Structure 1
């Protein structure tokens, strides 16, 4: 009887929804009156309402009133997982919303969706939701491996977050064969029980062909390789050498001793340094290529640069933001060539304070193109041959070290955090096969240039903040208190503490990292601390940079490879020429928000593409080392396995299936514990592993703990 009444009330409410009666929010009592529900049955009506809310069929306002689901729906981006469920990310909301596989409405990876919250966040549990509409498909094509059947085929997506294969009718295979890497457009997105359908639009190459792997990543992230014809026409009007008329009106700094310091292979040199000392004051000049002189607002060059957002540095190539004629030519601060620059000239006292500065358009000429290796040999190794070779500049390099040391000391005294995790250096042969992988060496010279770029970025940001002009800032927000609280609880197990507050100061993190330096738990706690941080992004508000403990920060120093730098160069120059009237200020107020979003997104895209190509080459490299034993450190512990990082920066996983015993994941302590013997694996622990398999498609490297291996699995 109760079930019948429940069903009857549910049908009545459904009819109410269909008839659009929920045009105003109503409380339970108002709905009961509308439906003539007796008082003694209202508890059952409440159950029906709760059930419909949990299903996402109606919505519930913060004031406890029921309303049409779409009226309380949120808009966000759906991220699929290979296990069917997913998450929706909403702009401005801290936490993602968990979507059960039954509540996805068959949404595809990266779809823009409308959803309702069915249960709010509780402790570590995500808020849960139900997708009620698909607003826009985010992915219209994908890259994958073609698998052929007799009368049709499938494309298995390279992106392992996409949990479904794409059905390809025979007539739409475009000549693809078994094992072809292809680009396929999606014709329809399928429905529960039916695969999405598509057509092959490009055959990249066979999976075993050299270069196909990297080109597949390029296509997957839709990274533009060719520049459009309209842009190429504009390039013809750009000179190979600085025109004499363009030198007029600039501060001529060609008489100053000027150097660039970069990697040996660098071709786009966008920053140069001058340094001298007068009494106790260091006269530091950071001179940045004036790209905006040639890439003007609204031009084809500008539109393409904004679209790309950043140069992308893949393992075997660079996809530039602007064409090589600019990046390696007229805009590159090449030795012995007159170049246009935008300079930040700073006076720095003996405590590392900037006591005076000037930002101006300049004309420079680089005296020496130096490498990090050469400067390190001179400063650190005291190499006689290198010192003799650059005798005229040696004093300047030691002065650079002196000045940079003061800036670094000042920065660290205010709480700047330095996570010094090594980057990977991957060396390839002529066919693109990896021959060596090692940590990238960060030398004294690297740090000097980094210190000088940081202080220039800070100085420019502070200048424009106080002028109250539209600007683009580089923002790193304070960490989420819940994440920091979780970190604090964990490090208590090691006898360390962390003062947690809403307005947490970076010095607290810095103190923690200083305490654990050299300890057994250093790697463990450093990694967990880094994971507790938020990601930096571009904003129009000057919110500050938590990691650098900087109140004011922007990106000024790399306009050849980053659009935000190019954008603020325009604003700076316009301001120098007195052109920032109300009309132009309104213009920048109008466009900068979109520029911030676009450049933050393209930066993430570049990071992910770079990471994917690195993983592919690491898999390829380790394929040649199956059965070999390595010493490593546990870098991650999850419910499905243990990640181990080797000294050469390669990371692989020991799957739970490849561990002898019955292990349970203890998420509070980041440990894997064997239930019978109590044997424990934890973050930061040193272990010996054997390489047992690699998978370039999934970008996975499989390890096994040495103690769990059989003799025939180990290469002797």
Structure 2
């Protein structure tokens, strides 16, 4: 590797301040460009000496720049579209001609174009084994250095977050008799490897296995030995293992972490408040193994708060067991959060902690951070206090079980709980709903697909679970608890990680405007947008064929929520301050907030360390990246399982809707299963289809036939590629005539079988890639 040191980057001439002159748009843009991620309205005003009434004109100019799409506001700072924040997580995937590492940002909006290359500068004196390499993820800080001809930015490594795993994942294949088996790697960039046949770990043809290389190709063909067999490629275990491997998600706890967890002991009352007589209960999914929140409510007896309610929340006291700087803490920080697959969980903490000592089990003493909240009759929170307690859950219920009791179908367990516990909970929830309705958070209706597995780990069926009031009750109680945590830490001036959600970018809003115009709806100007604005649009399409589609398009127009120490509020929830506090068993950000409360309220010596404030921005970037990584792995696993399930139905016909339109074709979502697939534009009829970006449609040059986002269609499954999680369909139904040519309103036909199986189309079919 080259030892050249990057040279200082030659930047454009610095913006100059002219005494008495107000800066032009170009001056302000130049200043933003010179200070990416650092320049806010205050910094611009200070740099150009703008005071008094000049700030009003500056605000007008900045608003105009945002509406024109030449700057974006992110965390109260201005950046140009496509610029990077000062601290970010990069995936290292190449080297430049001098051997220096190149990476790409893990969190990148594809609408801004291809991700920019980042030259990653490492410490040459770093201990062996800690240097980053290809396939690693690293936290970096942008540096004012020359990135060279192959990158756009340069950055210095702050921390290596994930090292590429040494094991190689693949499918065991058998050759002819008397020849060694070989590995077909999941990663297509890897070459095939001969397998040592002396210990196959009971693996058979087609099984997923992990191997380590025992001989390189220098003195013969590469050879490897099997480390572990995961079983048939048709099982959920194998499919989710591919996701873990491809995203480098840590899933085996080091021995030192397991040992530390095993040494932990149950907590006794000690200096804690005794909440064991408060009948808190847990309400969770039926198959939940860890329970980190419990709730109870009662009418407020204070005459001054007639019609009000008191809500008690108990949250598992993970901070007692996971102390700063310990092996448990380092591993939880590395993982960032738990990862949920259809048949298993990759936990953030070992089971001894997550499923045992911290889980709020029924009729068992457990340490918790308790929260008492008081609401008036309009659902407005008027007071709250935090407590470090010992509690005992009075009951463990599932969402369906609690809802059935409220709906008049109690069982032997919920019957005795109905009057003293469940009815008061629902009464308090009805009160809190009034406050929620007044707040008007973004109210998207997007049912989530779930997979029911057979005992052998293969897919039984795909379904959309019913959304119950029991789910909404717990969700609203937890939102209020999270707000209370943020308010307390702000008041005590303790640093924290906020859960922030920015407003939509001008580019995404413009795209949404264009789409809504095709449905005859308008989006107001960006200056007055609130969640209620979007809710008004959703209300107009409720119970119409376009409802699901409009929900999806509005979701796509939103920014992504993340963690950061700088508060910009939560747009989607319409909250000024918000922090995650209620799930410390499965989210590291919540553990940070717990430690902050312990420090702020003098609850013990295991609170947030004094020196952490300078590291919170980096921690926020790390846990945000881990969250996105987990979401991607979870989604890919579901897509692969569904593709595997659908592979037995090639040739079958389905109904669905066009869920996406791009130049190369149509994305389809099936009605019955929610499975997603693609129709290449080249296979649609015998016309050349052009992409109309404004209306999200493909329009035939010759016929004017139109296929638009949201149209109902009939399709035939022609290919399923389980490893890629991909389905390919053939379009059977006709599109609508282009209303701009015919002057007629768009129509949508289904069941009009076009000549989809005619010889020209059949010739274009391809066999699945293996």
User: Which band: TM-score by shorter chain?
Assistant: 0.7 to 0.9
C-alpha change, 1:705 and 1:343, in structure 2 (3 Å) is same
Deviations 1:77-113 (A, max 9, x none): 47989xxxx9954989997453799x9xxx9888889
Could you say which residue in structure 2 is the equivalent of 1:593? 617
Deviation at 1:711, TM superposition (A): 10
Q: 1:249 aligns with which of 271, 280, 288?
A: 271
CA distance in 2: counterparts of 1:148 and 1:114, whole angstroms = 48
1:572 aligns with 2:597: yes
C-alpha change, 1:403 and 1:584, in structure 2 (3 Å) is closer
1:371 aligns with 2:398: yes
Could you say which residue in structure 2 is the equivalent of 1:450? 475
C-alpha change, 1:373 and 1:171, in structure 2 (3 Å) is closer
Unpaired segments ≥5 residues, structure 2 = 14-83, 95-101, 120-132, 215-220, 301-305, 733-752, 763-770
Alignment check: 8 A CA contact 1:335 1:365 kept: yes
CA distance in 1: counterparts of 2:251 and 2:511, whole angstroms = 44
Could you say which residue in structure 2 is the equivalent of 1:390? 415
Could you say which residue in structure 2 is the equivalent of 1:285? 312
Q: 1:338 aligns with which of 347, 365, 368?
A: 365
C-alpha change, 1:309 and 1:171, in structure 2 (3 Å) is same
Could you say which residue in structure 2 is the equivalent of 1:420? 445
- Give the match's secondary structure for 2:479: helix
Could you say which residue in structure 2 is the equivalent of 1:621? 645
CA distance in 2: counterparts of 1:376 and 1:22, whole angstroms = 64
Could you say which residue in structure 2 is the equivalent of 1:49? none
- Comparing 656-665 with 362-371, greater Cα deviation is found at 656-665
Alignment check: 8 A CA contact 2:275 2:390 kept: yes
Could you say which residue in structure 2 is the equivalent of 1:355? 382
Deviation at 1:156, TM superposition (A): 7.5
Could you say which residue in structure 1 is the equivalent of 2:151? 131
- Comparing 621-630 with 527-536, greater Cα deviation is found at 621-630
CA distance in 1: counterparts of 2:368 and 2:213, whole angstroms = 47
CA distance in 2: counterparts of 1:236 and 1:109, whole angstroms = 33
1:298 aligns with 2:325: yes
Could you say which residue in structure 1 is the equivalent of 2:346? 319
Q: 2:334 aligns with which of 307, 324, 345?
A: 307
Alignment check: 8 A CA contact 1:88 1:98 kept: no
Deviation at 1:249, TM superposition (A): 2.3
- Give the match's secondary structure for 1:447: helix
CA distance in 2: counterparts of 1:255 and 1:312, whole angstroms = 34
C-alpha change, 1:156 and 1:415, in structure 2 (3 Å) is farther
Could you say which residue in structure 1 is the equivalent of 2:240? 214
CA distance in 1: counterparts of 2:183 and 2:664, whole angstroms = 27
Deviations 1:589-615 (A, max 9, x none): 133222212211111111111111111
Alignment check: 8 A CA contact 2:453 2:461 kept: yes
- Give the match's secondary structure for 2:315: strand
Matches within 5 A, 1:456-471: 456-471=481-496
Could you say which residue in structure 1 is the equivalent of 2:264? 238
Q: 2:703 aligns with which of 673, 677, 681?
A: 677
TM-score (normalizing by structure 1) = 0.75
TM-score (normalizing by structure 2) = 0.70
Deviation at 1:518, TM superposition (A): 2.3
C-alpha change, 1:687 and 1:335, in structure 2 (3 Å) is same
Could you say which residue in structure 2 is the equivalent of 1:433? 458
CA distance in 2: counterparts of 1:579 and 1:639, whole angstroms = 59
Give the helix-richer structure, 1 or 2: 1
Deviation at 1:537, TM superposition (A): 0.6
CA distance in 2: counterparts of 1:434 and 1:218, whole angstroms = 19
C-alpha change, 1:149 and 1:594, in structure 2 (3 Å) is farther
Could you say which residue in structure 1 is the equivalent of 2:693? 667
Deviation at 1:347, TM superposition (A): 0.4
Deviation at 1:236, TM superposition (A): 3.2
CA distance in 1: counterparts of 2:174 and 2:152, whole angstroms = 35
1:276 aligns with 2:298: yes
Alignment check: 8 A CA contact 1:143 1:157 kept: yes
1:523 aligns with 2:539: no
* Paired residues, number: 613
Could you say which residue in structure 2 is the equivalent of 1:191? none
Deviation at 1:167, TM superposition (A): 4.0
Alignment check: 8 A CA contact 2:184 2:193 kept: no
CA distance in 2: counterparts of 1:601 and 1:579, whole angstroms = 31
Deviation at 1:199, TM superposition (A): 8.1
Alignment check: 8 A CA contact 2:715 2:731 kept: yes
CA distance in 1: counterparts of 2:589 and 2:89, whole angstroms = 25
Alignment check: 8 A CA contact 2:657 2:711 kept: yes
CA distance in 2: counterparts of 1:667 and 1:154, whole angstroms = 47
- Give the match's secondary structure for 2:348: coil
Deviation at 1:409, TM superposition (A): 3.4
C-alpha change, 1:228 and 1:326, in structure 2 (3 Å) is same
- Give the match's secondary structure for 2:646: helix
Deviation at 1:500, TM superposition (A): 2.7
CA distance in 1: counterparts of 2:328 and 2:553, whole angstroms = 42
CA distance in 1: counterparts of 2:724 and 2:278, whole angstroms = 53
Deviations 1:586-640 (A, max 9, x none): 4121332222122111111111111111111101211222222222122111222
C-alpha change, 1:351 and 1:510, in structure 2 (3 Å) is same
CA distance in 2: counterparts of 1:595 and 1:682, whole angstroms = 42
Deviations 1:268-311 (A, max 9, x none): 01111111002422010111011111111111111111111111
Matches within 5 A, 1:257-272: 257-272=279-294
Alignment check: 8 A CA contact 1:277 1:283 kept: yes
CA distance in 1: counterparts of 2:492 and 2:420, whole angstroms = 37
CA distance in 1: counterparts of 2:136 and 2:113, whole angstroms = 14
Alignment check: 8 A CA contact 1:619 1:700 kept: yes
Alignment check: 8 A CA contact 2:280 2:312 kept: no
1:610 aligns with 2:634: yes
Deviation at 1:523, TM superposition (A): 2.4
Alignment check: 8 A CA contact 1:115 1:130 kept: no
C-alpha change, 1:348 and 1:703, in structure 2 (3 Å) is same
Deviation at 1:184, TM superposition (A): 8.0
Deviations 1:661-711 (A, max 9, x none): 222222221112223322222111222222222111111012222324449
- Comparing 533-542 with 219-228, greater Cα deviation is found at 219-228
Could you say which residue in structure 1 is the equivalent of 2:654? 630
- Give the match's secondary structure for 1:272: strand
Alignment check: 8 A CA contact 1:351 1:410 kept: yes
CA distance in 2: counterparts of 1:587 and 1:497, whole angstroms = 50
Alignment check: 8 A CA contact 2:324 2:609 kept: no
Q: 1:532 aligns with which of 541, 549, 557?
A: 557
- Give the match's secondary structure for 1:632: strand
Alignment check: 8 A CA contact 2:105 2:116 kept: no
Deviations 1:186-238 (A, max 9, x none): 99xxxxxxxxx998686665774744332222222222332211122223322
